[in-house]
Chains A and B, each alone.
Chain A
C-alpha cells in the first residue's frame, strides 16, 4: 500500500506492506541507520523514535499507522546542525560505551523532557525504561539532569 509521512522534516511516500514494522521502513527503505533493532518486541527501546512528538517503539509500530504523521529519528533530532540539548548533555558527560542503545535512550529522554521539563530522579527512574547492557545508566542520569538545564536555558 501507499503510505506518506514526513520524516525529519522531509516528505516521503513509500509503497510497501502496511504491516511492515516502521523500524524496517526507516532502516532498510529510508536508510536511516541510527534507529536500532534490539529485540523486535518493544522491550528494549533501542528503536525509539518520535511520532507526532511522542516516543514510539518503532519495531512494534506498523508503517501504515505512520500515514500522515510526523516522524523524527535520531538523525533529525537536532536542528540547524547544532546538537539537541540531550545530545549535548550526552557528549558533555561522555555517556556512551558501545553506543548501540544510545539513540533510543536519547530519543526517549527528549520525549520525556517535552512532558517533564525538570525531571526528578524518581521521574527518570519511572520514565526511562530502555535497556543499556554496558551499564551507562549512572552517566545517563547525570546527562538527563544536564539536558533539562540546557533545554530550559534555550527557552
Chain B
C-alpha cells in the first residue's frame, strides 16, 4: 500500500500504543432471543427490540487498540465504527476531548482496521454509533487520562493530587509535560479501577455545536474515501453480473473482449465474469465487447410484484395486540397505502482494492461491515480470518447499502488469480441493479372514533419484503426465532397508548431480488400509512388532527415525550388547518428507537407545481453530543424523505430493475429542497439516542396531509405526484 493513501493518519515511526483488554459487556440480541419462543412473550421482546439501543458489542477479549499517541502529542482513536456522514467521528472526538482533556485539534479519528481494532459485531448502522459508544468511550477515555496522570506522577516523583491535566498536558507545581512525554517508554500498563467520569457541568465539548473534524478534508477533496485508495502496481477490474431478476449466465463469449487494448485477463467466477485491465476505462471498454446469453427463467413484471406482495399474502405475524380487533361487520374506515422499491443511490459506488500475497490478503474499501467483510473474504479465499486485513475508509454515503459488501470477496479472488493488486468499482448501472433495495410495501389501515371523538380502534396491516430477515444482522436461525421482520416493523406498531384497541399485523414475503436496510427501514412507509390515516379520520370528522393525536396519547414517560414534540411542533410552526393563500400545512409524528419526532410541512401549489416551502421539525434526541450535527441529520432526513415521498421509484422493465441512473431515477434536487427547515431539539433523556433515522418518520405523512388540504385529494401511494 502506498503511503499517499494514509491520508488521515500521520505516519510516525514511533508511536505509543495503548492496549486495552476486555472490559466491555456484550449482551446482544441473541441473549434476548433465547426466551422468546411463545407468542405473547415474543411480542414483548419485539417491542423491546423496536426501541432498544443495542449495546456496543465489540470483541472484548483480544488485545485491541483504541487509543494511540504519537510523539507529536496527537491522539489517534481507532474507531470501532466507520464515518458515513453523520458526524460520528466528530462526536467521538468531542467525548474523548472532554474525558481525556485534549484539544479537539490534537485528536485524529480513523476507522479501525481488522488487524488493530475492536470492531463492533453489529457493524455500523441503525444510527447507533454515538448512542452505543457514549458511555464505553467516556469510561475508556477517563481511564486513559488517569493512566497518563499515574505515569506522569511516577516520572515526576510527585503525588497524583499535585497534577492537573489541561488539553494534552499535565501541569505540576514546577511546570508541565505533555501526554506524549508522560507516556514515553511505558511498557507495562496498570488499569486503574473506579475512574470517575466528569460531572456534566465540567464538560466543554460534549453538547456543543463544534464543527466537524472532517470538514477541511471534505471541502478540499482529500483522498479519504474507499474509491480513492490505491495499491502499488495495481490493475483495474470490472465485473459482469446477471441483470435480469433470477437470471444466470447460459453461455459467454469474451474472445473479443480479451483482445481489447489494456486487457490483462478475463476471470470467470461463480455466476460472474471479471475483466482486468491496465485502466478502469479500458476494462469498461472491453466489457462492452463481451457477448453473453442469459438464462432467464421468469420475466418479472410490476404487476407480478404487486400481486405477490400485499396484505393478506405471505407469513402473518401479529406485532401488536392491545384490546379487541375490528370485526368485518363492524363499522370502520379503511384506507390502503403503498410505497415503491427504493434505491440507496449513495453517491460513492461500491468498490474495493485487494491484494493477496504470501497467504495473506489486504482489502481496502468503504463498508459498514468491516468485520463481516473480513469473514467473507477469508471464506472465499479459504484463509484463516486473521490472515485477512480489512481497512475501512470514509464512506461516500451508506444508508444501509454498505452493510453488504460481498463484492470484496470477488475482488480478492481476482487479485489472487492475477497475482497483482486489483481495484474494482461498480458502475452506476450495476449499483442500481445490484442494490439491496428498500422493499416495496402495502398497508391497510383501519380505524374508527369513539363517542367522545377519540380513536376507539386503530389497526395497521402491513406487507413488506425482507428488511432484517435474511440479512447480515439477522441470520436465518434468529429470523425464525423472532418470527417476524424487526426491520419492516420499525414504526409499524401504533404509538398512541391511549387508544384502547390497537393492532399491527405484519405480512412478510421474501422478494425475488435483494431487499434490505434502507435508512430508517420500515419507518418511512409505516408512518406514512398510519399518520395519513389519522389525519384522514380527523379531517373527515372536523376534528383538529393535533388534538386527536394528543388525546390518543397516555401519560407515561415515553408518551409524555411524544406529546411534547407534538405540542412544540404545532406551536413553532403556528400550525393551522386553514389554507394560507396557495399554501397549506400538514402534520405528522412518529417515534423510532425511543426518539420522538414531529414535523409540519408547509407546501405551496403554483401552476400545478407543488413545493415543500418549509418544514418545522421538533425532535427529542436525548442528550445531543453535537446539536449542530443532530440538526444536520434532521435536515438531511427531511430532504431524503421528500425525495422518497415525492420523487423516487424503482420499477421493473424487461425483467430487470429499472431505472439504472440518476435522473431517470428521479430524486430531490436543490430546487426541491425547502428553503426553510426549522429544527428544535428537545433533550428529554440524559443519554444520546440514535439521530440519523427517526426524523425520516413523519415527513412523508406531513407532506401527504398538507396535500390533502391543498388539493382535496388523499394521496395514498408513494411517490406522491400531481398528475
Contact = CB atoms under 8 A, between A and B. Distances in A.
A–B in direct contact per CB < 8 Å: yes
Interface of A: 16-17, 20-21, 24, 28, 31-41, 43-44, 46, 73-75, 78, 83, 87, 90-91, 94-103, 106, 121, 124-126, 128-141
A139 B345 CA distance: 21
Q: Which 10 A-B pairs have the closest CB atoms?
A: A34-B221, A135-B639, A100-B396, A98-B85, A99-B218, A125-B671, A74-B221, A97-B85, A137-B673, A33-B223
Interface stretch (B175-183, B346-354, B444-452, B494-502): B346-354
B670 interface: yes
Interface of B: 4, 84-87, 211-212, 214-225, 227-228, 230, 236, 261, 279-282, 284, 344-349, 394-399, 425, 427-428, 628, 632, 635-640, 643, 661-663, 667-671, 673-675, 677
Contact of A106 (B219, B281, B425, B673): B219
Given A17-B261, A41-B662, A121-B675, 5 more contacts: A28-B236, A34-B221, A34-B223, A97-B632, A141-B673
B397 A35 contact: no
Contact of A137 (B86, B394, B669): B669
Contacts of B346: 98, 100, 133
A44 B261 CA distance: 29
B673 A73 contact: no
Nearest to A97: B85
B218 A102 contact: yes
A70 B220 CA distance: 19
B396 to A, nearest CB: 3
Binding site of A, secondary structure by majority: helix, strand, loop or mixed? loop
A36 B396 contact: yes
A84 to B, nearest CB: 9
Contact of B348 (A36, A87, A138, A140): A36
Contacts of A34: 220-223
B396 A98 contact: yes
A96 B670 contact: no
A63 B280 CA distance: 14
Contacts of B427: 40
B281 A20 contact: yes
A13 B638 CA distance: 47
A100 B669 CA distance: 16
Contacts of B628: 94
Contacts of B222: 33-34
A129 to B, nearest CB: 6
Nearest to A24: B281
Given A36-B396, A138-B673, A99 B217 contact: yes
Nearest to A124: B670
A32 B222 CA distance: 9
Most buried by B among A39, A103, A129: A39
Most buried by B among A33, A44, A101: A33
Most buried by A among B86, B211, B345, B347: B347
Contacts of B638: 135
Contact of B637 (A39, A96, A128, A135): A135
Contacts of B640: 133-135
A133 B280 contact: no
Contacts of A73: 221
B395 A103 contact: no
A100 B227 CA distance: 10
Most buried by B among A28, A46, A78, A99: A99
Nearest to B223: A33
B219 A44 contact: no
A134 to B, nearest CB: 5
B674 A138 contact: yes
A107 B326 CA distance: 58
A132 B279 CA distance: 27
A128 B672 CA distance: 12
Contacts of B224: 99
Nearest to A17: B261
Nearest to B431: A39
B396 A99 contact: yes
Contact of B662 (A32, A33, A39, A99): A39
23 contacts: A24-B279, A34-B220, A37-B227, A38-B662, A40-B284, A44-B347, A73-B221, A74-B220, A94-B212, A94-B215, A97-B85, A97-B86, A98-B85, A98-B394, A99-B85, A99-B217, A100-B396, A125-B671, A133-B640, A134-B636, A136-B632, A138-B639, A138-B675
Most buried by B among A91, A106, A128: A91
A16 B278 CA distance: 12
A74 B668 CA distance: 25
A135 B214 CA distance: 18
Nearest to A131: B662
B677 A96 contact: no
Given A133-B346, A138-B639, A141-B675, A43 B663 contact: yes
B225 A100 contact: yes
B671 A126 contact: yes
A49 B670 CA distance: 19
Nearest to B280: A24
B671 A99 contact: no
Contacts of A40: 284, 427-428
Contacts of B632: 94, 97, 136, 139
Given A39-B662, A91-B219, A102-B218, A131 B639 contact: no
A136 B401 CA distance: 19
B212 A96 contact: yes
A139 to B, nearest CB: 7
Nearest to A39: B428
A24 to B, nearest CB: 5
A73 B223 CA distance: 13
Contacts of B669: 129, 131, 137
A121 B85 CA distance: 26
A28 B279 contact: yes
Nearest to B640: A135
Contact of A133 (B218, B397, B673): B397
Given A38-B428, A126-B671, A137-B639, A98 B661 contact: no
